[in-house]
């Protein structure tokens, strides 16, 4: 059991008049891959956005490495060492793949050894290096969005549903890519609806429902317990595409 690098304590988030998160608490241990699961609308994306300061927590705390980052502006949270791959991918479509990567490498020129490693994970990026990101397919945009998160070493990578809308073969490639990223020692908090993909990757898991965490523990235990899966995740996994 390693030290948590990220800890959420009773985080509540309101968006306008809606009370979305009702006290979310869980830990992300350093050097591991933690999964955040839950039905559609459970509050997973809202949780990641709150961690990044894109929504403001109205109660509770977000601790990163023991430091309270709840009230920091988003750029400062990123500079503390978090990288965020949003559900919408948010690649800059007017910029080329290269330019997207240049911006992601905040502290200076891209490191060519690291870039080779990224090209190894996502060969399509090498092929479209000088193309506008807007012309990429959905899957390729997803690769670019993740590659941006990997452009420089970060302390923690937040990734929101990287396999969304991908063909089965692409999902396998994506799982393999995450396996390699994990092997490289990165700490990851991953939202993933594809339970099969998720269970192959996760060390730990937190399951959300209705804006709170309803279960957390080792992935292995959840993967082995079909009844628990059924009660926590119900039909949502089959429904989700």
Partner 1 sequence: MTDLGATTPASLPAPRRDWAALLLCPVLMAAALPLVGSASSWVTLTAAGLAMGMMIFLMASGLTLVFGLMDVINFGHGVFISIGAYAMLLVLGPLAGWAEADSLPLNLALLAVCIVVAMAVTAALGLVFERVIIRPVYRSHLKQILVTMGGMIVAEQAIHVVWGASPVAIRLPEAFRGAIVIGDAAVERYRVVAVAIGLVVFAGMSLVLNRTRLGLLIRAGVENPEMVEALGYRIRRLFVGVFVAGSALAGLGGVMWGFYRQTLTAGMGMEVMVLVFIVIIIGGLGSVGGCFVGSLLVALVANYVGFLAPKLALVSNILVMALVLAWRPQGLFPVARR
Ligand X SMILES: Nc1ncnc2c1ncn2[C@@H]1O[C@H](COP(=O)(O)OP(=O)(O)OP(=O)(O)O)[C@@H](O)[C@H]1O
3-state secondary structure 102-169: HHHCCCCCCCHHHHHHHHHHCHHHHHCCCCEHHHCCHHHHHHHHHHHHHCCCCCEEEEECCCCCCCHH
CA–CA separation, 75 vs 155, rounded Å?
Answer: 15
Give which of partner 1, ligand X, Mg ion, none residue 15 binds (C-beta under 5 to 8 Å, depending on kind): ligand X
Per CB under 5 A, 193 contacts Mg ion: no
DSSP 203: S
Per CB under 8 A, 94 contacts partner 1: yes
Residue 5, SS3? strand
CA–CA separation, 29 vs 40, rounded Å?
Answer: 25
Whole-angstrom CA distances from 199 to 61, 169, 219, 237 are: 28, 17, 7, 13
Sheet of strand 57-64: strand arrangement: 18-29, 4-15, 57-64, 67-68
> Which of 22, 30, 54, 212: binder of partner 1 (CB under 8 A)?
54
Closer residue to partner 1 in complex, CB, 67/226: 67
Per CB under 8 A, 63 contacts partner 1: no
Shortest spacing between CB 66 and ligand X, in angstroms: 26
Per CB under 8 A, 68 contacts partner 1: no
Closer residue to partner 1 in complex, CB, 138/217: 138
Instruction: Candidates 31-39, 56-64, 108-116, 189-197: pick the segment binding partner 1 (CB under 8 A).
Output: 108-116
Shortest spacing between CB 7 and partner 1, in angstroms: 20
Closer residue to Mg ion in complex, CB, 161/186: 161
Shortest spacing between CB 45 and Mg ion, in angstroms: 3
The count of residues in the chain is 241
CA–CA separation, 146 vs 5, rounded Å?
Answer: 20
The footprint of Mg ion (CB under 5 A) covers 45, 87
The footprint of partner 1 (CB under 8 A) covers 52, 54, 73-75, 78-79, 84, 86, 90, 92-96, 98-99, 102-106, 109-110, 112, 115-116, 119, 126-132, 134, 148
């Amino acid at each position: 059991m390693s030290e948590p690098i990220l800890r959420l304590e009773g985080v509540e988030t309101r968006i306008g008049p809606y009370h979305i998160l009702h006290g979310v608490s869980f830990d992300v241990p350093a050097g591991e891959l933690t999964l955040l699961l839950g039905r559609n609308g459970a509050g997973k994306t809202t949780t990641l956005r709150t961690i990044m300061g894109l929504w403001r927590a109205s109660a509770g705390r977000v601790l990163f490495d023991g430091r309270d980052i709840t009230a920091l502006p988003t750029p400062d949270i990123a500079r503390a060492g978090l990288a965020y791959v949003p559900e919408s991918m948010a690649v800059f479509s007017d910029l080329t793949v290269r330019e997207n990567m240049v911006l992601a490498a905040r502290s200076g020129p891209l490191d060519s050894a690291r870039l080779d490693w990224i090209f190894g994970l996502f060969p399509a990026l090498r092929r479209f290096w000088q193309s506008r990101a807007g012309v990429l397919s959905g899957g390729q945009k997803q690769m670019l969005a993740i590659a941006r998160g990997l452009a420089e070493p970060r302390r923690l990578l937040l990734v929101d549903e990287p396999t969304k809308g991908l063909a089965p073969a692409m999902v396998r490639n994506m799982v393999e890519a995450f396996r390699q990223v994990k092997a490289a020692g990165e700490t990851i908090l991953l939202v993933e609806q594809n339970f099969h993909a998720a269970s192959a990757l996760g060390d730990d898991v937190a399951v959300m429902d209705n804006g709170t965490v309803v279960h957390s523990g080792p992935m292995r235990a959840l993967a082995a317990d079909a009844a628990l899966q059924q009660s926590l995740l119900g039909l949502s996994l089959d429904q989700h595409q």
